[in-house]
Amino acid sequence: MRKIKDFGWSVGRTTLTWKALSSFISLIVVLAFFYWQVGDILFNKSIVRGSILDLGVNWAIVALPVAMLMISGEFDLSVGSVFALGASGIFKLFQIGLHPLLAFVIILAACALIGFVHASITIKLGIPSFITTLAGMWFWRSVVNAMWSYTPSAPRSAIEYFNNVFGVRMAGGWFYSKFLFLIAIFVILWIVLERTPFGNSIFAAGGNYDAALARGSKPDRTKLVLFILTSTLAGFAGVVSATSAGATMTNTAMGLELYMIAAAVIGGAALTGGVGSLEGAFIGTFLLRYINTGVIQMGIQSKWFQGIIGVVLLLAAVLNRNFRSRVIKRFT
């Protein structure tokens, strides 16, 4: 086994399974609590499909690359605005008569370019990604607001085109086919992170940047790829969300970036980089969706949801820090 001092990512690998397990246990505890409070209503097909899996898939598509970026030691606070740009932008392209597939490709390319711009400013100019993407969050949201003065909708033919891909009901109506796309994305990214040299470079970039450079890794290139991936998948999720609903709003995905960071932290990611897991972020995302849905089903006002998430996030950060400290003492 690699020593922790090599790159700083081997501890992340060591604790990976346990962190995912702790997230899973947290999910079970939350489900058990809401089952005690509201019975089996959270396992109702329509609620699982609509309130949890439907929105949860949209969130998880974004949470996975956000977690990878955090492992590399960077943040992207613009994902909510890029999500909205993907949703609104593709409707604009529909309305000018572009074929749905061509519009889809253009939106993904535009979102990839946004990620490239954010990465270039962060890496080349040395501006912290927190500042770069915070500026991007406001700028791209302004673009969305300038694009529409009303709630945009799409031609029925375009909606049907995407529904035939992402909106097919599966497993007797329990979830939509877009869930399978999420699983495919998860598997591919997990293999990249856990089974490839590029995955090693992600942990290395966040664990010890200088040591990564000394060992011949290219952390800047790694972060560039991750910024592009994050923005691209945020735009992709926006397209999936908008075409599933048949309409979107300029304020869609407001605050999404904070939920994505929360999902990653609940899943075991460290804000300092070098530690985290995709399975943890995956579980953390659906944990947030179950909390949101459970709070509503209990009759608690939705305004308390953010407060509850704040408490959960703080507890997760404390537990992960204590657990990580114990593992470091064991392997050093």
Q: What is the largest CA-CA distance in the chain?
A: 61
Residue 230, pLDDT score: 98
Give the CATH number for residue 158. 1.10.3470
On the CB side of 45, CA atoms within 13 Å amount to: 8
Total number of domains constituting the chain:
1
pLDDT digits (tens), the chain, 332 positions: 333 333 333 444 444 455 566 677 777 887 788 777 777 766 777 777 777 788 899 999 999 999 999 999 999 999 999 999 999 999 999 988 899 999 999 999 999 999 999 999 999 999 999 999 999 999 999 999 998 877 777 788 888 999 999 988 887 777 889 999 999 999 999 999 999 999 999 999 988 877 777 777 889 999 999 999 999 999 999 999 999 888 888 888 998 999 999 999 888 888 888 888 999 999 999 888 888 888 877 777 767 777 878 887 787 777 766 665 555 455 44
DSSP secondary structure letter of residue 304: G
List the domain range (segments joined by +) for residue 177. Answer: 4-331
Q: How far apart are CA 282 and CA 183, in angstroms?
A: 10
Query: With 0-12 CB in 10 A as exposed, 13-18 as middle and 19+ as buried, what is 175?
Result: buried
Q: How far apart are CA 173 and CA 55, in angstroms?
A: 15
What pTM value is reported for the model? 0.88
CB 70 within 8 A of CB 273: yes
Residues in a beta bridge with 176: 169
Tokens of 131: 């500042």
Tokens of 283: 């579980």
Tokens of 42: 């959270």
